C-alpha cells in the first residue's frame, strides 16, 4: 500500500497557516470588475471542516467549514476569496465572534468565518 504525498504546511508566526485573500470589485450594475488583493493572512486555523454528500448524489460532495483568522489582521467578508495551501475558498457567511465579550470584557484572538472550497 502506498502512502499519498502530503502538502507541507506553511506555518505563520501565530502557529497557524497562511493564506492570500482577495476581494472582487463590481461596477455600478453589480458586474464583476477587478480583483483587489487584500494581502496575506497568517495564523489561520481550520475548525469544523466536514465533507458531506450533496443532493443525495454520491459523486458530488460539499467541503465547507469554518476557519479562524486573527482579529487584528484583514477582516474577511462574504464574497471574498482566500487561497490556503493551494486550495481556493470562497467566504459565504458573516464574521463570527469578532467582538469583545460583554461578560468578560475580553475579545477572542480569532474571528471565525464560513468558507467553501471552490473547484
Residue 5 lies in a domain: no
Domain span at residue 86 reads: 17-117
**Structure confidence by residue, pLDDT tens digits, 2-22:** 544 444 444 444 467 899 999
Alpha carbons within 13 A on the beta-carbon side of 50: 7
Q: Give the separation between CA 61 and CA 55, rounded to whole angstroms.
A: 9
The radius of gyration of the chain's CA atoms, rounded to the nearest angstrom, is 16
Q: What is the pTM of this model?
A: 0.71
Q: Give the separation between CA 82 and CA 80, rounded to whole angstroms.
A: 7
Residue 66 lies in a domain: yes
DSSP state of 92: -
Residue 11 lies in a domain: no
Which CATH number belongs to the domain containing residue 46 in this structure?
2.40.10
Average pLDDT of the segment spanning 55-59: 56
Query: How confident is the model at residue 8, as a pLDDT?
Result: 47
Q: Give the separation between CA 84 and CA 66, rounded to whole angstroms.
A: 13
**Structure confidence by residue, pLDDT tens digits, 72-106:** 999 999 999 999 989 999 999 899 888 888 888 88
Residue 65 lies in a domain: yes
Residue 6 lies in a domain: no
Domain count within the chain? 1
pLDDT of residue 35 exceeding 70: yes
Residue 71 lies in a domain: yes
Q: Is 112 helix (H, G, I), strand (E, B) or coil?
A: strand
Residue 85 lies in a domain: yes
Amino acid at each position: 500500500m502506498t502512502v499519498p504525498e502530503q502538502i507541507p504546511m506553511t506555518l505563520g508566526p501565530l502557529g497557524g497557516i497562511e493564506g492570500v485573500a482577495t476581494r472582487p470589485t463590481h461596477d455600478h450594475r453589480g458586474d464583476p470588475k477587478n480583483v483587489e488583493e487584500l494581502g496575506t493572512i497568517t495564523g489561520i486555523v481550520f475548525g469544523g471542516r466536514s465533507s458531506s454528500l450533496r443532493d443525495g448524489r454520491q459523486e458530488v460532495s460539499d467541503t465547507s467549514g469554518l476557519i479562524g483568522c486573527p482579529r487584528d489582521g484583514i477582516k474577511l467578508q462574504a464574497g471574498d476569496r482566500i487561497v490556503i495551501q493551494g486550495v481556493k475558498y470562497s467566504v459565504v457567511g458573516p464574521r463570527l465572534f469578532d467582538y469583545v465579550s460583554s461578560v468578560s470584557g475580553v475579545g477572542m484572538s480569532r474571528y471565525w468565518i464560513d468558507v467553501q472550497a471552490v473547484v
